[in-house]
Structures are given as structure tokens and as C-alpha cells.
Amino acid sequence: MGWTSYGLDQVAQRLVLDAKERNTDSLNQSYKMRMATAYGLERFWGEHLRLQRREQEKARYWKDTWDALVEAMQEAGFTLPNDTIRSDNVQAVRTMSQKLWALDIETQRVALAVLTQLCDCIVWWTQRHKD
């Protein structure tokens, strides 16, 4: 099996354009997303929860990006948890975090590599579509 891009560049462009249609301020999150990849899957996933109460559009951009990662990983044969929860449901947050921390090391590494590449693509498209 050879290298496959899994359409990450196209996915990134779609995410950026969708965010731009909703709210241009959300595009600034692209750079924060890329920086957050260094902190791991659980922290990246959890960022949309932090934004849920005050900044819905930014939260949606993070969650849409996570959903795109999950889809790309599934296409590559890996399964990532993707529970839909609210930030005020502490038990659900705890459960989802545990699922992410329990992933085997290979899945974690592949997911972080794919997430990093996806975020690099998002940053590139953000630079081209920002007003």
C-alpha cells in the first residue's frame, strides 16, 4: 500500500471556507489549532468544549476539524472516539478523555501526524482566504 493523502488539503479548504461563511473571526483559530497539536489528542479535542459557552462559532470550527480527523482516520483504518457532549457534562468529558488516553500508541501517533498535517493545510488555506 502506497502513500495516500486522504484528501486532507480538500478537507482543510472546505473547513476554512465553511468557517469563513459563518464568521471570519473563527479563522484565527487555525493557528491555535496547529499549535495545539503539540499537546496531544485529548487537549485538541477538549478545546471545543472550552469555547462552547462563549464562542459558539469558534467551538464549531474546532469540532468540525475534529470530526474531519475522525473521518480521515476511519478511511485509513483507525477508529477514534467521537462522542458528542456538552462541556457541562463532567462525566461525559471524563469518559471521552479516558477513551482518547486509552488509544494504543500506534493509533495515537498516526492520529497526531494526520491532525498535524490537516492543521498545516488549514493554516495554508486560511492564509489564502483571510480578508
Helix, strand and coil content of the chain, in percent to the nearest 5, comes to 75, 0, 25
pLDDT at 24: 66
Q: What is the pLDDT of residues 10-69, one digit of tens each?
A: 999 999 999 999 876 888 899 999 999 999 999 999 999 999 989 999 999 999 999 999
Give the whole-angstrom CA distance, residue 117 versus residue 22. 24
pLDDT at 37: 96
Give the whole-angstrom CA distance, residue 51 versus residue 121. 22
pLDDT at 27: 87
With cut-offs at 50, 70 and 90, classify the pLDDT of residue 3: low
Neighbouring residues of 47: CB distance < 8 A, sequence distance ≥ 6: 32, 33, 36, 62
pTM beyond 0.75: the answer is yes
